[in-house]
Amino acid sequence: MCGIVGYVGPKSTLDVLLGGLRRLEYRGYDSAGVSIIAPGSGLQTRKKAGKLDNLVADIEAHPLPISHIGIGHTRWATHGAPTDTNAHPHLGGSASKLSLIHNGIIENFAELKAELLAEGTKFSSETDSEVAAHLIAREYEILGDLPTAFAKVVNRLHGAFTILVIHEDEPDVVLAARKNAPLVIGLGDGENFLGSDVAAFVEHTRRAISVGQDEIVILRADSVQLQSFAGAPVTFEEFTVDWDASAASKGGWSSFMAKEIADQPQAVADTLMGRLNSDGSVRLTEVDGLSVADIKAIDRIIMVACGTAAYACDIAKYAIEKFSRIPVQVELSHEFRYRDPIVTPNTLIVAVSQSGETMDTLMATRFAKEQGAKVLAICNTQGATLARESDAVIYTHAGPEVAVASTKALTAQITAGMLLALFLGQNRGVVAQETLLQLGQELLKMPARVTKVLENLDDVRALGREMANAKSVLFLGRNVGFPVAMEGALKLKELAYIHAEGFAAGELKHGPIALIEEGQPVIVIVPSPRDADSLHPKVISNIQEIRARGARVIAIAEVGDEQVGHYAEHVIFVPQSENIFSAILTVIPLQVFALELSTAKGLDVDQPRNLAKSVTVE
């Protein structure tokens, strides 16, 4: 959590910092702040509690001088309430000439703070970050060399952190350190950038370097130096960012979420592009490192993820098991990591994460690697830590997802999961190849079907608005419809702050049916009536059971399902597809329902309360 941006170069630093923070605001929005060094006026800092707009208004009211170096921060509070004083940057030293921003948690801050307090250091905030600012300022006063002082202090810090520092007496350099929190460098012509992710600077450059663990960056307008915490020079590889700035802007939509929902045909198409041939065969060059022998040796797949990404795994599990007959276990990363799970060299770990920075998922994959397992990541962010630390990566090409609620990243993750399932199936050879090729051809049709779903959402929008005062909404599904139901409930909780639960429709009679009373809204994901596993009649029976107890049933069903209308009060139709791929379609009305309901309640759909897009603490 927390967004970090740094700049040194000829542009107006404030414009670069505020533009970067605008794009990083999804990472945290409790407070924001900037520090710049201006010729003649030295270090200038502004910070404000609340959203970035508060900071912008403050700077407009009291303009800052032109400068060519600075750092900016948007905060998701950990230590200390979201107030002006706890906002970053934090100043260090008796003359307050050093400014520092921090993302992460300094676990040994109490002991370091005690040391500083004993020396008489005065603190202005309750944060762990201010401790690092004072320590670096103190070392600089002693050693007289900023990079050396900086390196000495970062070696003393425990926990997870990205730290950026500028100092009034060294007005041409930004120092940065990274340990278990993200940091990327943007390379310009006579200018350079730092960011928590490439969104911070993609407007200015698409040339980037991903900073490794325990590395320090010494950034000047005309040079970039990387070294390890121990001081050894580090070689680095440049990559080209495949997002463009417009992809990270609202582009006329009322919210990022609305735009990202509309981006889904493209996100699905781009994730399939170059990987699925017209005959239905799958080419995943990303997993070339795994030979057919390796694939045949896999005896179990464990998928690890959190939140929406974990529902993508739940959906992929159905396909992987069906197409390859490899047993799949889906685990919430944080539960997996700390329960002494059984992982062997023949276990394939599939870690799914939009950001690639979710600390719970990183910890889970690191643990699995230590046990000798291979890790395959499904990730949306180039240069992300998960991608760097995995043996192979299937990138979802959803483009930048800015809204906190995941939408297009999910449909892209499901698509990648389906590609992986077909790929494993085609290499394991336990299911008829002809069947798998036919399924591959069906998968190619999904982007067009997603477009069709998006064209027919007026009814679901109206329902969302009409149900703005609902106290609770339940969601039901079977098979791939079950994780879709869970996702529908998650979207409603996080965006509309409404009690919502998703259940397996078959589980209803084992308890949850007691929740049904007159007028209780229940959204049911209805499988295709053409489905060979006869799930449809079972779900229709479940609808009848809840209707009999007074539920108001809204069904998401496929076009041509003539039965469902007899039992549900409202039916939202989506195009026909293979049941196994249907989650890519049925989840979209649920996204739109939550968006509409939240908007009708006057809530901020892009930045729901208490949340951050990228959860980089455990």
Secondary structure element (H or E) that encloses residue 228, with its range: strand 223-228
Nearer to ligand M6R, 130 or 401 (CB): 401
Its sign, for the CA torsion 319, 320, 325, 328, is: negative
CA end-to-end span of the chain: 11
- Among residues 2, 306, 313, 379, which one is catalytic? 2
Cα gap 526→538, rounded to integer Å: 10
Backbone angles phi, psi at 115, to 5 degrees: -60, -45
- Select from 173, 72, 156 the least CA-distant residue to 116: 156
**Residue 431 burial by Cβ neighbours in a 10 Å radius (0-12, 13-18, 19+):** middle
- Among residues 48, 317, 491, 613, which one is catalytic? 613
- Select from 484, 554, 545, 478 the least CA-distant residue to 515: 545
Nearer to ligand M6R, 135 or 404 (CB): 404
> How many Cβ atoms sit within 10 Å of the Cβ of residue 480?
25
Q: Would residue 2 show up in a list of annotated catalytic residues for this protein?
A: yes
DSSP assignment string, 178-206: EESS--EEEE-SS-EEEESSGGGTTTT--
- Select from 338, 311, 315 the least CA-distant residue to 494: 311
Name the token pair of 129.
Answer: 């970050």
**Residue 442 burial by Cβ neighbours in a 10 Å radius (0-12, 13-18, 19+):** middle
Kindly list the residues in this chain that would bind ligand M6R in the complex (CB under 6 A).
306-309, 353-355, 358, 361, 404-406, 490, 494, 614-615
**Residue 241 burial by Cβ neighbours in a 10 Å radius (0-12, 13-18, 19+):** buried
Closest separation between CB of residue 201 and ligand M6R, Å?
20
Are 421 and 276 within 8 A, CB to CB? no
Are 381 and 356 within 8 A, CB to CB? yes
Cα gap 519→454, rounded to integer Å: 28
Say which residues have a Cβ less than 8 Å from residue 483's Cβ, sequence separation at least 6: 311, 312, 314, 315, 477, 502, 583
Closest separation between CB of residue 253 and ligand M6R, Å?
18
Rg over alpha carbons for the chain, rounded to the nearest Å, is 25
Place of tokens 């993750």: 413
Q: Would residue 313 show up in a list of annotated catalytic residues for this protein?
A: no
Cα gap 237→184, rounded to integer Å: 12
Nearer to ligand M6R, 361 or 520 (CB): 361
> What's the DSSP call for residue 233?
B
Closest separation between CB of residue 600 and ligand M6R, Å?
19
Backbone angles phi, psi at 343, to 5 degrees: -130, 130
Q: From start to end of 69-110, where are the E strands?
A: 69-75, 90-92, 98-106
Secondary structure element (H or E) that encloses residue 466, with its range: helix 458-466
Name the token pair of 381.
Answer: 């962010």
User: Which residues does the annotation mark as catalytic?
Assistant: 2, 613
